């Protein structure tokens, strides 16, 4: 079957999208396209996605759209078989006939084209569902890693405060510090215990959220992610044509246009042709009869014009929504790039800070405290600041990777980076 002009235009549009996506390296994204998630991350994502209920839902939606497309390609009308018999006194008549409505207005082709557009829409929506899952999974994983690292820092803080409280008790017994300073050290230890309980609860909650998206805690324990690459310097934000949201918006416009075509073709009446044959008896005389009939519906009471007007309005609404999405995507791309760049800068500053070296600062502060050059209150204040900085660093690293994932999603490379580009 030859393609309609509208279908050819849609294929040309999809080719243009693919060509524009190939231009991404020319826009400064070659570094992003060459980057890939570590193989263990790709394997964990693939396994989690196939276990996730959203994967089965996406598969079912694609299967339903494919089945509707197959149904739309079937002949629109089935033949009708009619048997008739009459017995009026000495006259008897018996006939058999076949009626078939002919699709002369191209309704089947229009419905097939509309079903193709709906299938494209289902594919685009499945890609959005997959991309959103990748973000959920990675957000859950980084949040759990951050919570686990914060928990380890909390354990270090609790051990440090417990040891310091014991030293303060010995210093008090030796008369080197006052009872107030001893009590202050004990309060710091108790506070560390309370905060540690909170960190334990936060780690359990983060682990539960990670499990909810198919994550398996412990599967990637041996993996060291390191630091993601810095964002490339882009003169202009990349085109949104390769983003799944834009593909959904364009597919929705094309699906609405297909509905207009179907509604327009439905306004054209299709004739029904019938052929019948039989026998008629007039008393003792028998004769054969053959009949041909043509029936054409008259759309005089309902012209079905309102359906076309409604479908055209749906096209306008879908086009306006696509334009809104294009503007939002363009703005979101630049925001994601700037956010990632700012987070990268904050992470570099944090790594270069000597204040995050807890072991070195703890030894220095304890020596100054023992020598009397630092009061107990000042010691606790400075060691608390050091530990808080380390706790904030764990959250900053998680935020760095989240912003990197958001950046990849904004430039349409997240699915490829995660290794799931071949899965629906």
Instruction: Tell me how far apart the alpha carbons of residues 79 and 280 are, in angstroms, rounded to a whole number.
Output: 25
Of the two residues 280 and 219, the one the predictor is more confident about is 280
Q: What are phi and psi of 195, to 5 degrees?
A: -70, -30
The residue length of the chain stands at 424
Taken in order 250, 252, 255, 261, the sign of the CA dihedral is negative
* Contact indicator for 33, 258 with CB cutoff of 8 Å: no
Model confidence over 343-360: pLDDT tens digits? 988 888 887 776 556 667
Question: 301, exposed or middle or buried, with CB in 10 Å at 0-12, 13-18, 19+?
Answer: exposed
* Contact indicator for 200, 151 with CB cutoff of 8 Å: yes
Burial letters 134-167, b for 16+ CB under 10 A, else e: bbbbbbbbbbbbbbbbbbebbebbbebbbebbeb
Residues 6+ apart with CB under 8 A from 209: 140, 143, 144
- Predicted local confidence at residue 236, as pLDDT: 57
Instruction: Tell me how far apart the alpha carbons of residues 368 and 302 are, in angstroms, rounded to a whole number.
Output: 95
- Predicted local confidence at residue 358, as pLDDT: 65
Judged by average pLDDT, the poorest of 119-128, 278-287, 322-331 is 278-287
| pTM of the complete model | 0.80
Judged by average pLDDT, the poorest of 9-23, 153-167, 236-250, 339-353 is 9-23
Tokens 């050059």 locate to 373
Model confidence over 259-305: pLDDT tens digits? 999 999 999 999 999 999 988 888 777 888 899 999 999 988 899 99
- Minimal CA–CA distance to 334: which of 220, 233, 264, 419? 233
Model confidence over 180-216: pLDDT tens digits? 888 888 888 899 999 999 999 999 999 999 999 988 8
């Amino acid at each position: 079957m030859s393609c309609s002009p509208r279908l050819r235009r849609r294929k040309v549009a999809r080719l243009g999208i693919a060509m524009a996506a190939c231009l991404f390296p020319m826009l400064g994204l070659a570094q992003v396209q060459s980057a890939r998630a570590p193989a263990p991350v790709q394997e964990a994502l693939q396994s989690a996605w196939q276990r996730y209920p959203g994967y089965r839902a996406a598969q079912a939606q694609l299967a339903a759209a494919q089945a509707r497309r197959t149904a739309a390609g079937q002949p629109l009308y089935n033949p009708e078989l009619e048997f008739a018999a009459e017995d009026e006194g000495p006259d008897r008549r018996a006939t058999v006939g076949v009626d078939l409505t002919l699709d002369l207005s191209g309704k089947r082709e229009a419905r097939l084209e509309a079903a193709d557009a709906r299938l494209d829409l289902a594919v685009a929506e499945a890609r959005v569902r997959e991309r959103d899952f990748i973000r959920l999974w990675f957000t859950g994983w980084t949040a759990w890693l951050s919570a686990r690292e914060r928990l380890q820092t909390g354990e270090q803080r609790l051990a440090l405060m417990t040891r310091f409280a014991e030293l303060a008790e010995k210093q008090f017994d030796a008369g080197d510090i006052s009872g107030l300073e001893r009590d202050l050290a004990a309060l710091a230890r108790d506070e560390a215990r309370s905060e540690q309980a909170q960190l334990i609860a936060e780690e359990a909650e983060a682990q539960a959220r990670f499990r909810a998206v198919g994550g398996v805690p412990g599967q990637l324990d041996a993996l060291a992610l390191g630091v993601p690459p810095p964002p490339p310097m882009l003169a202009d934000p990349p085109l949104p044509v390769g983003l799944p949201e834009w593909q959904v918006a364009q597919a929705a416009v094309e699906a609405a246009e297909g509905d207009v075509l179907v509604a327009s073709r439905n306004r054209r009446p299709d004739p029904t042709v019938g052929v019948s044959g039989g026998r008629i008896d007039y008393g003792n005389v028998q004769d054969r009869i053959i009949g041909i009939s043509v029936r054409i519906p008259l759309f005089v009471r309902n012209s079905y014009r309102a359906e076309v007007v409604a479908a055209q309005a749906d096209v306008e609404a879908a086009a306006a929504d696509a334009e809104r999405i294009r503007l939002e995507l363009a703005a979101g791309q630049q925001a994601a790039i700037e956010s990632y760049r700012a987070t990268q800068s904050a992470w570099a500053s944090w790594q270069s800070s000597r204040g995050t070296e807890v072991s070195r600062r703890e030894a220095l502060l304890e020596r100054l405290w023992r020598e009397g050059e630092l009061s107990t209150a000042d010691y606790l204040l400075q060691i608390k600041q050091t530990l808080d900085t380390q706790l904030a660093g764990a959250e900053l690293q998680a935020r760095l990777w989240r912003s990197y994932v958001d950046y990849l999603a904004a430039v349409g490379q997240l699915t490829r980076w995660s290794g799931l580009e071949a899965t629906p």
